[in-house]
Structure 1
Amino acid sequence: MKAICFYFQVHQPYRLRQYRFFDIGKNHNYFDDFANRTILRKVADKCYLPTNKLMLDLIEKYGSKFKIAFSLSGTVMTQFKEYAPEVIESFRKLADTGCVEFLAETYAHSMSSLKSETEFKRQVESQVAMVQELFGKTPTIFRNTELIYSDDISDMVAAMGYKAQLSEGAKHIMGWRSPNYLYTSASSPQLKLLLKNFTLSDDIAFRFSNQGWEEWPLTTEKFVGWLNALNPSEEIVNLFMDYETFGEHQWKETGIFDFLRKLPEQVFENSDFQFLTPAEVVDQFQPISPMHVRYPISWADEERDLTAWLGNEMQNEAFDRLYQLEEKMKNVSDPKLRHDWNLLQTSDHFYYQCTKWFSDGDVHKYFNPYESPYDAFINFMNVLADFKLEVDKHLADQKSSSGNIHEEIEQLEAKIKELKDLKVP
């Protein structure tokens, strides 16, 4: 038997409000609560709730034959709790079936893996704790933000005890090799790698409604025919995509829900593929070779690299300035500052600053609140300037408070000594 591994990324950022230069030092509320609530509710109604209901229907119809996997960022889970608790309940129903696997990732959907092993590990632990709290599951497979992967990152993931990591089957890395096998990290061989088949994944995620596409309309019969046409020796087809594909990127009117509803039946009746979760793929298949990735790759844009987030001077400046605060944040105890620190690391803030407005422009405009990447940069840097002032003020207050406590202790100790020296008549 061959395997289809269906994995979906679920994420929404906390978008920043319009923050002017003149707000610095005066207003410490950085996030647009109205926009975040409105967008989350919109996507919940168009995507999360109807797609979760459809997935539950498919599992009830086919039982353990139909299996899927999710990774949910901490920011989207927190927004579910705030704005749409019924979405959490719908994911719980899926979790209770035993046919759904939840993966680990960073809480803030951040790029901390590129900057700090300590911060990276802290965020992963926070996201995993939230998955355990909400769904009663403990992830054993890791998925980094935007499938960002390198040998160095795999070493950190392996050290945290994960069995496998998801990544992109990028052409410039794969060469003649196929993504349709299990691989291992070249530097940490105990870590298995599941690689996205970007052609078949993107046929659903990006090309499904494109009437200019030569393969439009995409039917389940056609898609399963492509699966059957693969080299007979190839074992696994990893279909990785944003969950918002269903109902948001591809609207209901395109027929995307009908396609998803009919796909399992077509697979079972006309192919020798089975649906497995990532953990099951790791358990049932043997890796064929190590994969060496010296420079980070991702699943974004045509280049499959980091240029969507760190491709210009603005992005790099903002990214470096943000992580210059890491050492200070280790001493910050204020819950609001800690929460803001998490949310400011979300990769979307840097994505909005991207200047690649060519073949990938439509992707970069998705729920983008800015008219230009320059506006996104200025807004972020204004927020970051105020945040730094607040962090410095908090640390100064902590130091002053700590100094006062030490003075009081010294005074009390002197008083005790004085009393001990008194001669009782």
Structure 2
Amino acid sequence: MKNICLSFQVHQPFRLRKFPFFDIGEAVDYFDDAANTAVLKRVATKCYLPSNKLLLKLFQKHGKEFRVSFSISGTFLDQCEQYMPEVIESFKKLAETGNVEFLGETYAHSLSAMKSKEEFIRQVNAHAEKIESLFGERPIAFRNTELIYADFIGETVYEMGYKVMLTKGSDWVLGWKCPNYMYSNCANPNLRLLFKNYHLSDDISIRFSDRSWTEWPLTAEKFVHWLKAIPQEEEIVNLFMDYGTFGEHQDAKTGIFDFLGEFPEKVLKQENLKFITPSEAALLPNMGDFAIPYPLSLENEDRNLTAWLSNDMQQDALDTLYDLEDKVVNCQDTKLRKDWLYLQSIDHLYYMSTKGSSGSNLHTSFSPYNSPFAAFINYMNVLTDLSQKLDRVPNHRNFFGIQFI
């Protein structure tokens, strides 16, 4: 039996308002409520609400035979609670069917795994609590930000109690090996690894509407034919993609919703195909350990971290951000702590990218800035202001002039 693991990422950052140098030291909020509201409502109208409505119909039609998973960032959930609670309600309806598995991730969709193990653990635990409070289940499978993975990250994830982790099936990592098997972390073989089949995933998420593509138009029937052609011994096909594929990146007029609506039925008509969630996939036979000493990710053709850390601006911004960690941890001001959390979303680093890759070009097209340098200056002004505010508030180590150890 060949298993299809269909997983969607859902994320929105809190976008920054224009923050000029002369606003440093003034009582000004960092985030642009108008922009955040407008973007969320636009994407919700085009993608989240119609996609969730369609999935609910498909779950009702196919029962437990059709299952998917979602990785939903905490910043997305916070935005929905503030601006569009009906989006949260639509996800709750999906959760009530029992056909959805919610995955763990970092709360702010951040690079904390690369900069601070302590902050990474705090965010993952906070995210798990948020998911449990909204949808009634605590995640047991994990998807790090943009599928970023390395052996040391896997070790931490396993220490936190997760049994399976999703990552990117890069050619330079897999070599001659195939992504369509279950593997495991080399340090902790009990942590299973699911590698994205990026060729098939990108056929849907990137190439679906490309009329110059030799396989256009892509139909559900054609795609299932490709799945059937995969050798039977290859037990799992991991289709991981941004949920914005449906209605946002691929507009409704491309036929993407027709594809999604027909896909489950075409799969379930085949005797040797079935849907499976990541936690269920963890029970498949392990084909061997994988050593991945250097981080790999979902983004850009290099499948590394250069979409966020390819230039001095990005590296300086990230270092400055995490240099504030001790101040934030000891701070009693919950608003400043939340501001720092939201500033960790990797989107802020995307906007500073000067790398000429498909990945950075995609995100640059959504940038609210005129240039990467403008994004850097605005972000650093905010960090400077935040640092000054943190210096002015009391903390639990030095409260009322008394030093606590």
Both structures adopt the same fold (TM-score exceeding 0.5) = yes
Determine if the alignment matches structure 1 residue 332 to structure 2 residue 331.
Answer: yes
State the Cα distance separating 1:395 from its structure 2 match: 3.7
Say which SS state the counterpart of residue 101 (structure 2) adopts. Answer: strand
Q: Distance in 2 between matches of 1:404 and 1:140?
A: 42
User: Residue 239 of structure 1 corresponds to which residue in structure 2?
Assistant: 239
Q: Distance in 2 between matches of 1:163 and 1:405?
A: 41
User: Residue 158 of structure 2 corresponds to which residue in structure 1?
Assistant: 158
User: Residue 48 of structure 1 corresponds to which residue in structure 2?
Assistant: 48
Deviates more, 1:143-152 or 1:269-278: 269-278
Change (3 A) 1:154 1:378: same
Cα deviation, 1:142-188, whole Å, max 9, x if unaligned, reads 11000000001001001001011100001100000000000000111
User: Residue 310 of structure 2 corresponds to which residue in structure 1?
Assistant: 311
User: Residue 221 of structure 1 corresponds to which residue in structure 2?
Assistant: 221
Query: Match for 1:34: what amino acid?
Result: A
User: Residue 416 of structure 1 corresponds to which residue in structure 2?
Assistant: none
Query: Match for 1:338: what amino acid?
Result: R
Cα deviation, 1:368-423, whole Å, max 9, x if unaligned, reads 11111111111100110101000111148984x512899xxxxxxxxxxxxxxxxx
User: Residue 401 of structure 2 corresponds to which residue in structure 1?
Assistant: 403
User: Residue 348 of structure 2 corresponds to which residue in structure 1?
Assistant: 349
Cα deviation, 1:246-269, whole Å, max 9, x if unaligned, reads 000000000000000001111122
Deviates more, 1:267-276 or 1:340-349: 267-276
Q: Distance in 2 between matches of 1:113 and 1:343?
A: 15
Cα deviation, 1:328-357, whole Å, max 9, x if unaligned, reads 212101011011010011111011111123
User: Residue 35 of structure 1 corresponds to which residue in structure 2?
Assistant: 35
Aligned partners of 1:224 and 1:271 also within 8 Å: no
Q: Distance in 2 between matches of 1:271 and 1:167?
A: 28
Say which SS state the counterpart of residue 269 (structure 2) adopts. Answer: helix
Q: Distance in 1 between matches of 2:16 and 2:388?
A: 18
State the Cα distance separating 1:367 from its structure 2 match: 2.5
Task: Report the structure number with the largest CA radius of gyration.
Answer: 1
Q: Distance in 2 between matches of 1:382 and 1:106?
A: 25
Deviates more, 1:121-130 or 1:22-31: 22-31
State the Cα distance separating 1:358 from its structure 2 match: 4.3
User: Residue 287 of structure 1 corresponds to which residue in structure 2?
Assistant: 286
Aligned partners of 1:28 and 1:387 also within 8 Å: no
Deviating beyond 6 angstroms after TM superposition, the runs of 4 or more aligned structure 1 residues are none
Q: Distance in 2 between matches of 1:287 and 1:398?
A: 48
Cα deviation, 1:199-219, whole Å, max 9, x if unaligned, reads 000000011011111111101
User: Residue 267 of structure 2 corresponds to which residue in structure 1?
Assistant: 267
Aligned partners of 2:353 and 2:360 also within 8 Å: no
Say which SS state the counterpart of residue 400 (structure 2) adopts. Answer: helix
Determine if the alignment matches structure 1 residue 278 to structure 2 residue 278.
Answer: yes
User: Residue 198 of structure 2 corresponds to which residue in structure 1?
Assistant: 198
Deviates more, 1:388-397 or 1:82-91: 388-397
Q: Distance in 1 between matches of 2:259 and 2:85?
A: 28
Q: Distance in 2 between matches of 1:190 and 1:398?
A: 39
Please show how residues 166-185 of structure 1 align to structure 2 within 5 Å: 166-185=166-185
Change (3 A) 1:358 1:9: closer
User: Residue 114 of structure 1 corresponds to which residue in structure 2?
Assistant: 114
Q: Distance in 2 between matches of 1:259 and 1:405?
A: 63
User: Residue 371 of structure 1 corresponds to which residue in structure 2?
Assistant: 370
Query: Match for 1:355: what amino acid?
Result: T
Say which SS state the counterpart of residue 195 (structure 1) adopts. Answer: strand
Over the matched positions of the two proteins, sequence identity in percent amounts to 53
State the Cα distance separating 1:9 from its structure 2 match: 0.4
Query: Match for 1:386: what amino acid?
Result: D
State the Cα distance separating 1:271 from its structure 2 match: 5.5
Name stretches of at least 5 consecutive residues in structure 2 with no aligned partner.
none
Query: Match for 2:173: what amino acid?
Result: I
Query: Match for 1:265: what amino acid?
Result: E
User: Residue 387 of structure 1 corresponds to which residue in structure 2?
Assistant: 386
Q: Distance in 1 between matches of 2:189 and 2:370?
A: 45
Q: Distance in 2 between matches of 1:268 and 1:162?
A: 29
Q: Distance in 1 between matches of 2:364 and 2:214?
A: 25
Query: Match for 2:194: what amino acid?
Result: L
Q: Distance in 1 between matches of 2:63 and 2:104?
A: 25
Higher helix share: 1
User: Residue 12 of structure 1 corresponds to which residue in structure 2?
Assistant: 12
Deviates more, 1:25-34 or 1:123-132: 25-34
Change (3 A) 1:280 1:165: same
User: Residue 143 of structure 2 corresponds to which residue in structure 1?
Assistant: 143
Say which SS state the counterpart of residue 154 (structure 2) adopts. Answer: helix
Please show how residues 76-91 of structure 1 align to structure 2 within 5 Å: 76-91=76-91
TM-score norm. by structure 2 comes to 0.97
Query: Match for 1:189: what amino acid?
Result: P
Change (3 A) 1:361 1:307: closer
Q: Distance in 1 between matches of 2:354 and 2:402?
A: 50
Q: Distance in 2 between matches of 1:192 and 1:328?
A: 36
State the Cα distance separating 1:327 from its structure 2 match: 1.3
Aligned partners of 1:28 and 1:386 also within 8 Å: no
Q: Distance in 2 between matches of 1:172 and 1:105?
A: 25
Q: Distance in 2 between matches of 1:382 and 1:263?
A: 48
User: Residue 423 of structure 1 corresponds to which residue in structure 2?
Assistant: none
State the Cα distance separating 1:361 from its structure 2 match: 4.9
Say which SS state the counterpart of residue 401 (structure 2) adopts. Answer: helix
